[in-house]
Amino acid sequence: MPSKKTNSKTKSTTNTEPGRSAGDAIADLSFENAMEDLDTMIERIESGEIGLEESLNEYERGMALFGHCRSILKQAEQRFEKLRIKDQPPSDSS
């Protein structure tokens, strides 16, 4: 019987502090940590390491992480655009 692939990153960071929701925990993640969680999740699902129910739970959390990452990227893009406009020399309208 083939053995399951083992990975040093077998758990995603789904633990939350008492009184906090999983959404709060996701909102506190940096972009890099959220992407790492997504990568780990994908590896676990694709390897068959987890069952269907846990895969569905991970998928739901993955969608929340994806939304969080998109939000961070949008904020970064807006900051970049503000800096670009601020640093742009005034146009000569003569």
CATH value at residue 69: 1.10.287
Residue 26 is part of which domain span?
22-87
Q: Tell whether 5 is covered by a domain.
A: no
Comparing 15 with 5, the larger pLDDT belongs to 15
- How wide is the angle at C-alpha 18 spanned by C-alphas 66 and 26, nearest 5°? 10
Comparing 74 with 14, the larger pLDDT belongs to 74
Question: With contact defined as beta carbons under 8 Å apart, do 45 and 5 qualify?
Answer: no
Number of domains in the chain: 1
Q: Tell whether 11 is covered by a domain.
A: no
Comparing 54 with 92, the larger pLDDT belongs to 54
Question: With contact defined as beta carbons under 8 Å apart, do 47 and 5 qualify?
Answer: yes
Q: Tell whether 12 is covered by a domain.
A: no
Q: Tell whether 30 is covered by a domain.
A: yes
Comparing 21 with 48, the larger pLDDT belongs to 48
